[in-house]
């Protein structure tokens, strides 16, 4: 068995860290307070996996004068990354900060909060998964530095064989929902069914779907539910971390 995990919203509870940093970063650039729930609904509606990209989208949205549903309809078509939001901003005559500046401000704000991150899946559960799985891996949109900080704090590194981060991708086009991270993992580990990916976003689901279509191989998608992903389809759904063990036991 091979089991890969997303990090934010799956292994790690980020409502007090990344979610706050996203709302705070947009608020800082706009010089006005924006609601955390609305910006997260925007991110989910646009099927974004990267908070830097969601920041750009938020800056365009709040200056567009459109309501949330109309903006999502306008901005959803096309690849789910920052480049289309810069193009849209240009079309709407919205002046946007550079992407590198957005990344810097976001990371600075995130690091104010990162010590408060907790876990959604406890080490005891990961230890049980480790007994069942030949390979365990992480596929995340985090940069390596952010992943290392959290994993060292919680002692998670010992459970995993592979770590695929933002820093390991050759280009923006290789981010989720592209199949690249999953394909790279399985090219290194060797495809050995059952293969499972545990995620919490539409980007996770689409990565699995794209891999299946391109490679003609089945990967089981397990969704860890929260309030922003109820509409995401999955082979199995978790409402609590303990459910993962029973699902994996059924698959072995």
Q: Where are the domains of the chain?
A: 2-13+118-251, 18-114
CB 28 within 8 A of CB 125: no
Q: How confident is the model at residue 79 (pLDDT cuts 50, 70, 90)?
A: confident
β partners of residue 3: 136, 196
Return the percentage of the chain with pLDDT > 90, whole number.
90
Closest by CA to 196, choosing from 204, 92, 55, is: 204
Whole-number pLDDT of residue 229: 86
pLDDT tens track for 34-52: 999 999 999 999 989 899 9
Superfamily of domain 2-13+118-251: HAD superfamily/HAD-like (3.40.50.1000)
pLDDT tens track for 170-205: 999 999 999 999 999 999 999 999 999 999 999 999
CB 81 within 8 A of CB 175: yes
In this prediction, residues 18-36 reach a mean pLDDT of 96
Q: How confident is the model at residue 247 (pLDDT cuts 50, 70, 90)?
A: very high
CB 164 within 8 A of CB 140: yes
Whole-number pLDDT of residue 59: 98
This prediction has a pTM of 0.90
pLDDT at 230 over 90: no
Cα-to-chain-centroid distance, residue 146: 13
What is the rounded CA–CA span in Å between residue 206 and residue 191?
Answer: 19
Q: What are phi and psi of 139, to 5 degrees?
A: -125, 110
pLDDT tens track for 82-130: 999 999 999 999 999 999 999 999 999 999 998 889 999 999 999 999 9
pLDDT tens track for 144-160: 999 999 999 999 999 99
Whole-number pLDDT of residue 220: 98
Rounded to the nearest 10 degrees, what angle do helices 51-64 and 99-113 cross at? 110
């Amino acid at each position: 068995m091979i089991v890969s995990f997303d990090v934010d919203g799956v292994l790690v509870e980020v409502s007090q860290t990344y979610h706050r940093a996203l709302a705070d970063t947009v608020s800082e650039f706009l010089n006005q307070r924006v609601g955390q729930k609305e910006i997260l609904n925007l991110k989910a509606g646009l099927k974004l996996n990267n908070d830097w990209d969601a920041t750009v989208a938020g800056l365009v949205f709040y200056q567009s004068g459109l309501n949330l549903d109309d903006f999502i309809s306008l901005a959803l078509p096309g690849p789910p990354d920052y480049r289309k939001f810069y193009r849209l901003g240009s079309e709407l005559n919205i002046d946007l900060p550079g992407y590198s500046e957005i990344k810097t401000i976001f990371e600075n704000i995130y690091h104010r909060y990162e010590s408060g991150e907790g876990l959604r899946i406890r080490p005891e559960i990961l230890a049980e998964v480790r007994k069942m799985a030949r390979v365990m891996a992480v596929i995340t949109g985090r940069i390596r530095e952010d992943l290392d900080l959290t994993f060292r704090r919680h002692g998670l590194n010992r459970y995993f064989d592979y770590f695929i981060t933002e820093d390991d991708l050759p280009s923006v086009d290789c981010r989720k929902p592209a199949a690249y991270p999953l394909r790279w993992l399985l090219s290194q580990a060797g495809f050995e069914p059952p293969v499972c990916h545990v995620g919490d976003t539409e980007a996770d689901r689409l990565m699995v779907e794209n891999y299946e279509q391109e490679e003609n191989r089945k990967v089981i998608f397990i969704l860890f539910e929260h309030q922003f992903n109820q509409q995401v389809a999955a082979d199995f759904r978790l409402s609590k971390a303990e459910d993962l063990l029973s699902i994996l036991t059924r698959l072995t």
